[in-house]
Structure 1
């Protein structure tokens, strides 16, 4: 039996990238497939961000918001104090994340799609409190700044010839430290620590945006033409969605003006 090296000139084995200067038709086919794959990821991610924003706007202007959160005015600005329902809404995205952590490996593509849209909706409900805390101008400024930064960083991750895979371990360690510092700051409520967390958050999620983009691009060679391709799109969209949302939130905390 002939092995994959003996396949016809136009056939490309799964899990490989056509060599430059080799099979031109195979290279073109691979590049077209890669663009389609990444475009699907970006479409899902962008739709998720838009859905989150729409849900947040609708919820904060609905009567249900007053049942979930009490708006408290302080000298430092307003903030939304959650009721029992509010805590349920605030923590509800974690329930979906538990599914991603422990059940996604066995779930079908359809189940992953449902989980993705459910997460973006629930996150929109919990994110609605920013409209009470920050001015509309601040939210818009942070959003467009995050969008511009995300686009540039993702383009860098997609086009750079430099292997940035080594960034991953440092970024993940930084993310763990960021989460730990954020938990500590819940109890100490330190202004300077909040500033440091916001600055580090912007840097970490900026790096993760570029790193995730290159990782997803490289991953395509292993999933193309397989049943894993559809699942990879959903996983990739969730990663980039979280990169963008966290980049936006840290920019908002860093630059935003409170109501």
Structure 2
């Protein structure tokens, strides 16, 4: 969205109405993000339930675990590349088109994206134990809550982190793509550790940026724009959470 990123709060005394509006705005951001997370979890769990079976098939992945024909199609055929890259294409397309959408349409697209992400992440149920997935999810939730709270309440201006963190994300993408062909455990371990640190920083940075964006535009009273800003803020924090969760899972998840 135009003017969405790196916006400094407008100068002047904040009124009680703006503070109340900010609380409502942040509640909408976290609420939208939470619904998206729930959709992702349910979609991943439902797809994994159809793709993994304890009935013997030709696709054995564990001592008593097998892939159904659907699982083999989703996770072992060339279709897996489409499924893996679909969320990334969704994010770029959504960001480019959100200005032409209504807030209601943008919210629907976000929830559709969350379901697509669930499809993309469903493979983790075939690789990691259910207990470790839940355990890492709870650790991620606690860390995310703390980092987001700090980003919201800190008086320190951390807007300067943005360019450094984005460069870090680009470096992670390049390293991950290279490691697909190399298959180095050392590179994967390093990428996971750096990834956790980068997305921890982005959680605080994005939270402060969402707050500052609202403060800079609240006086204009454009509720439609603010509604879309809340959805884009939810998308940013959702991606921070998902990426931090996946990197922590690679580090600490117990494999089947």
Tell me whether the two structures share a fold, i.e. TM-score over 0.5.
Answer: yes
Q: 1:117 to 1:147 in 2, by over 3 A?
A: same
- The separation in 2 between residues aligned to 1:223 and 1:64, in whole angstroms, is 48
Q: 1:193 to 1:63 in 2, by over 3 A?
A: closer
Q: Does the Cα contact within 8 Å between 1:167 and 1:211 map onto a contact in 2?
A: yes
Q: Deviations over 1:38-96 (max 9, x none)?
A: 0100000011011100111011112599xxxx955389x99974324444433332342
- The separation in 1 between residues aligned to 2:168 and 2:225, in whole angstroms, is 30
Q: Does the Cα contact within 8 Å between 2:44 and 2:119 map onto a contact in 1?
A: yes
> Which of the two has higher C-alpha Rg?
1
> In the TM superposition, what are the counterparts of 1:116-195 in structure 2 within 5 Å?
116-195=110-189
Q: Which runs of 5+ in 2 are unaligned?
A: 1-8
2:22 to 29, 34, 49: 34
Q: Which runs of 5+ in 1 are unaligned?
A: 1-14, 20-25
> In the TM superposition, what are the counterparts of 1:219-234 in structure 2 within 5 Å?
219-224=213-218, 225-226=221-222, 227-234=224-231
- The separation in 2 between residues aligned to 1:101 and 1:232, in whole angstroms, is 11
3-state SS, counterpart of residue 61 of structure 2: strand
Q: Does the Cα contact within 8 Å between 2:169 and 2:198 map onto a contact in 1?
A: yes
Report what 2:243 is aligned to: 246
- The separation in 2 between residues aligned to 1:185 and 1:245, in whole angstroms, is 20
Q: Does the Cα contact within 8 Å between 1:41 and 1:234 map onto a contact in 2?
A: yes
TM-score of the pair, normalised by structure 2: 0.84
Q: Deviations over 1:116-135 (max 9, x none)?
A: 01100010011110000001
- The separation in 1 between residues aligned to 2:52 and 2:109, in whole angstroms, is 24
Q: Does the Cα contact within 8 Å between 2:110 and 2:235 map onto a contact in 1?
A: yes
Shift of 1:212: 0.2
TM-score of the pair, normalised by structure 1: 0.83
Report what 2:108 is aligned to: 114
Higher relative contact order (CA 8 A, sep 6+): 2
What's the Cα RMSD here?
Answer: 2.4
Stretches of 4+ moved more than 6 A in 1? Answer: 77-80
Aligned residues between the structures: 234
Shift of 1:257: 1.1
- The separation in 2 between residues aligned to 1:71 and 1:239, in whole angstroms, is 37
3-state SS, counterpart of residue 61 of structure 1: helix
Q: 1:87 to 1:177 in 2, by over 3 A?
A: closer
Q: 1:47 and 2:35 equivalent?
A: yes
